[in-house]
């Protein structure tokens, strides 16, 4: 990468960090969209703390996500997810990667919309399926036909994810490029909203 590229890349990250001011940045979207991995890179580029609601839930419960689903059920997981996200959103200088079902939950979505700037990392089913197939850590996909389950969740959730402030395509390119796309898209969104006001 040339020095100019590096400079403008850093410049954009700095400009965004400044414009975001006191708002948490929250990533939403399907399992495999890259919320956790891109979120971590994003936080580092913006000089923010990275938090992941799944990691926080696992830490608080002293159990893995599959264990929580097995032993306590999805409803209890969702209630815990909402409480954890409400707590995490009290911190403003963060990038928060949510679990895929968080924004689909009306109460949690309400919290995110009220307190944060939300980014939907959107990806094709083929891309999602390839990525989630690498690990067996997603209890909702432990079905006879995980691809069909993923497709059904996509159909159900995409209209809801579309309520996020910004949508970014999580393309099949290096994660750093997707991270750059998020920075550019959020910056454009903030500039637009400022121009309108
Ligand atoms: N742009 C990308 N290109 C290739 N693989 C990716 C990309 N983004 C994420 N991944 C991979 O996809 C998998 C799921 O990513 P993850 O960040 O856990 O998604 P999420 O948190 O949205 O479920 C991980 O193995 C990650 O390394
Ligand atoms: O889509 C979902 O309902 C879920 C997504 C997972 O997080 P990722 O989206 O980070 O995989 C995790 O919260 C749990 O397995 C449920
Ligand atoms: Mg994740």
34 annotated to bind ligand: yes
User: Closest ligand 2 atom, CA of 66?
Assistant: 15
143 annotated to bind ligand: no
DSSP string, 160-181: HHTTSSEEEE--SS-HHHHHHH
Cβ–ligand 1 distance for 133 under 6 Å, the answer no
Ligand nearest to the CA of 39: 1
Separation in Å, CA 180 to CA 5, 123, 145, 156, 158: 12, 16, 34, 28, 23
Q: Which segments of the chain does DSSP mark as H helices, in order?
A: 3-20, 35-46, 53-61, 65-72, 74-88, 106-115, 125-132, 146-161, 175-196
Domains of the chain, first to last: 20-196 (3.40.50.300)
Cβ–ligand 2 distance for 100 under 6 Å, the answer yes
pLDDT tens digits for range 66-123: 999 999 999 999 999 999 999 999 999 999 999 999 999 999 999 999 999 999 999 9
**Residue 21 region, left (φ>0) first, then alpha (ψ -120 to 50), else beta?**
left
Cβ–ligand 2 distance for 138 under 6 Å, the answer yes
pLDDT tens digits for range 155-185: 999 999 999 999 999 999 999 999 999 999 9
Note whether ipTM > 0.95 here.
Answer: yes
Do the Cβ atoms of 36 and 52 come closer than 8 Å? yes
Ligand nearest to the CA of 57: 2
Tokens representing residue 133 in the block: 């197939």
């Amino acid at each position: 990468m040339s020095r100019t590229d590096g400079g403008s890349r850093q410049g954009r990250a700095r400009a965004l960090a400044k414009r975001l001011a006191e708002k948490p940045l929250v990533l939403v979207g399907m399992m495999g969209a890259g919320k956790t991995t891109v979120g971590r890179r994003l936080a580092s580029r913006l000089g923010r703390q990275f938090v992941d609601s799944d990691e926080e839930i696992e830490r608080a419960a002293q159990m893995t996500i599959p264990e929580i689903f097995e032993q306590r059920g999805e409803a209890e997981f969702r209630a815990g997810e909402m409480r954890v996200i409400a707590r995490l959103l009290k911190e403003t200088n963060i990038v928060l990667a949510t679990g895929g079902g968080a924004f689909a939950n009306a109460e949690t979505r309400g919290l995110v919309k009220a307190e944060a700037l939300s980014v939907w990392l959107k990806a094709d089913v083929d891309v999602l399926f390839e990525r989630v197939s690498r690990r067996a850590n997603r209890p909702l996909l432990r079905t006879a036909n995980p691809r069909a389950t993923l497709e059904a969740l996509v159909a159900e959730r995409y209209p809801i994810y579309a309520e996020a402030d910004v949508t970014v395509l999580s393309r099949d390119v290096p994660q750093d490029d997707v991270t750059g796309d998020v920075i550019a898209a959020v910056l454009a969104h903030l500039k637009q909203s400022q121009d309108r006001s």
